[in-house]
Structure 1
């Protein structure tokens, strides 16, 4: 019998998934209150990209307590591959704030400089493959609603950090990840192979995955499972086995530098950076779309000027390109850069363009989706299941999925449906917390099945 095949009968036999499901159900029921408590604590202490010191530290501490081998800081990032990192003073202020709010000092210190996130590994008592699960942990730059109709505000777990909010469910993702860790640790003696848990910083703006992927944190994984609450399903009890159609994307920050002048007295001595940025913005949106698949370009920010009587000497343009494939996105990014350069030259400006974020496209593997379906069938709370849906958006999870797939492995992006109070990335976002234990059960059972039957036997 080959290693990893489903065992049956006789002493020391590996329990079939249906037999494990009852144990998983009991373990998750026992921590259901913890899942809500963890989620609400992280929600209340929301931390944005590369400042997730408290979040990462508390996750790391619990994983160590469960017996995981935990890696942190520069050990899990390739420094030069990080994107969109805040200035050092912002990072240090966030680290000190985390310490004031209860982050273990030793762990927070290991992440100094913004090297946040956690990678944890646990080897089971039986031979088998390595199954990876990735969870994002960052918040958004959004001021959370204080209206009494908003449950976090009403029940006292709205963000205490001005301008930072878990408005996309990543607090729930982190809680699900901790729940999966609890289950795996409890089943360790009978678990085949190894589990790698990745808690990724900086998903918003697709900034955090590349440095972890290039550090090789997922290179031992035969399968990578990723998940999201809500998104393509706003019905608690509904699970989508695998999302596809993710768009590759690049986020660019373009700074136009000209020369300020008195707009009335000496306008001819100025070089108008605002006009250069505006010229670029209009022409970026005039770019044709690509026949190779879905393509997008958007200018989301244009900041320039200091007064109506001053020629603007500096302008910031923040834009993004997206494409159905890496090739489509690269074409669109190349054309965008040409337009930025031409607009700067037209107005006699200097131009600096920096990549603030990027991630590839990815699709879920049908073979893994089938295993998610089998696992979900053993979870009583799952009332609906669909094999797939198309995202037509971008997610940093794709970097992990593509890395594993390019190395011969498989991947899937699972959506755990959840009723939402309002849409993602809004000040009143909230989700049905009943989705948390459901998500833990589906992912833990899927991981166990993939570990026990890596070749998908009957």
Structure 2
């Protein structure tokens, strides 16, 4: 395959994933297309659904009605019946294993596959809209580049499968539910992290332009996603409001006070409540209200401080307004820094690439990623881990309705990462 035909294939594949985005644990069609591509490339083992992770540890799992809705959507869109059967009840995702020798190391590349609950822009300046690959699932889009991650991962798998220089085992993880910090933990607690020598994560963009490569990230923020539910008692808001117990007041107090938690002296903190819903009508004292939020800390210890303070705020807000409350962790990820030597290897490979114009060995991440669960699991068993950034121009910020990627970065990512995998195999 010529370089031009390879680039065209990557672009076409990325646009297919972009047109059919699916949220966390609902990536049925996405998994089906991944399986199509993996089987086309050819691997030694392919694990789908429950075979790929410890499913009892899944977090941020949607309700059964939502899972069924997306399952049926995928079937209508042409997803394979055998894959739909294996991924039923939100068991999406897959792991592909390629064996090319017994003497070399086991190298793992992880890519995330879920999309965001964001309605995609539809105007003359948005390339996916103009060129016909805008999201067909209204209200959901690939607003963080996971479509590019999947495509890059598949490109690396194909490149390694054709390489005469790689000696060892190459494993490609297609992880669901990263955006809800719900998929990394069950992957990390599976047998697929046993005996891994090198683990590599991937992200595109994040402010790094096309032609730039970051060998590894440091200081990713540890994160906890949470849901708090407040239960009171309804009453007539005009005639006898004092006979009610106002869950809306309790939730509103909690939201205000969560933002008032003091920042920590030892490092960065982030707090956000992104959703509040409940109540039934303006003239009824709200009986049930739910909030969803996240807390992030520069260290795992700071995150634990923030979590304890957030739970305290929720409890005291409920007590203030004579309501009951529940606090539930719906997703989480620890901090894990890239190994310096591993990051240097990625950077050294990138420096030899003709289309790479700027290389940084390590960069502060400043966000969160549940690939850190996998990084820590590998490191605790004696392996090393890094998380690389492949730069891409993006006309709007991540998580926005106008987000898009520069498709030139797909080929760069495939070549840099596949050559990195080959370089790692020569170390043992």
TM-score category of the 2 structures, normalised to the smaller one = over 0.9
Contact 1:28 1:183 in 2 (8 A): no
Matched, 1:388 2:362: yes
Matched, 1:222 2:200: no
**Partner Cα separation in structure 1 for residue 35 and residue 282 of structure 2:** 51
Task: Compute the TM-score of the two structures, normalised by the length of structure 1.
Answer: 0.90
Q: Which of 328, 332, 347 is equivalent to 1:358?
A: 332
Q: Residue 60 of structure 2: SS of its match in structure 1?
A: coil
Q: Which of 100, 108, 111 is equivalent to 1:132?
A: 108
103-112 or 73-82, which deviates more: 73-82
**Partner Cα separation in structure 1 for residue 199 and residue 3 of structure 2:** 22
Q: Which of 144, 148, 155 is equivalent to 1:168?
A: 144
**Partner Cα separation in structure 1 for residue 298 and residue 281 of structure 2:** 41
**Cα deviation code 1:426-453 (max 9, x no counterpart):** 1111111000000000100111101111
Matched, 1:115 2:91: yes
Contact 1:124 1:190 in 2 (8 A): no
**Partner Cα separation in structure 2 for residue 131 and residue 125 of structure 1:** 12
433-442 or 101-110, which deviates more: 101-110
**Partner Cα separation in structure 1 for residue 155 and residue 303 of structure 2:** 36
1:417, distance to aligned residue in structure 2 (A): 0.7
What is residue 15 of structure 1 aligned with on the other side? none
Matched, 1:289 2:263: yes
Contact 1:303 1:317 in 2 (8 A): yes
Contact 1:126 1:191 in 2 (8 A): no
- Long gaps (5+) in structure 2: none
What is residue 266 of structure 1 aligned with on the other side? 240
Change (3 A) 1:387 1:181: same
What is residue 299 of structure 2 aligned with on the other side? 325
**Partner Cα separation in structure 1 for residue 141 and residue 334 of structure 2:** 26
How many residues matched? 427
**Partner Cα separation in structure 1 for residue 233 and residue 324 of structure 2:** 10
**Partner Cα separation in structure 2 for residue 89 and residue 287 of structure 1:** 36
Q: Residue 31 of structure 1: SS of its match in structure 2?
A: helix
1:405, distance to aligned residue in structure 2 (A): 1.5
Q: Residue 105 of structure 2: SS of its match in structure 1?
A: strand
RMSD: 1.4
**Partner Cα separation in structure 2 for residue 425 and residue 28 of structure 1:** 31
The residue correspondences of 1:5-404 to structure 2 (distance < 5 A) are 29-68=4-43, 69-125=45-101, 127-187=103-163, 190-233=165-208, 235-404=209-378
**Cα deviation code 1:386-412 (max 9, x no counterpart):** 112111111111111111112221111
**Partner Cα separation in structure 2 for residue 279 and residue 28 of structure 1:** 58
Matched, 1:422 2:396: yes
Contact 1:140 1:167 in 2 (8 A): yes
**Partner Cα separation in structure 2 for residue 297 and residue 236 of structure 1:** 31
**Partner Cα separation in structure 1 for residue 376 and residue 162 of structure 2:** 30
Which protein is bigger by CA-based radius of gyration? 1
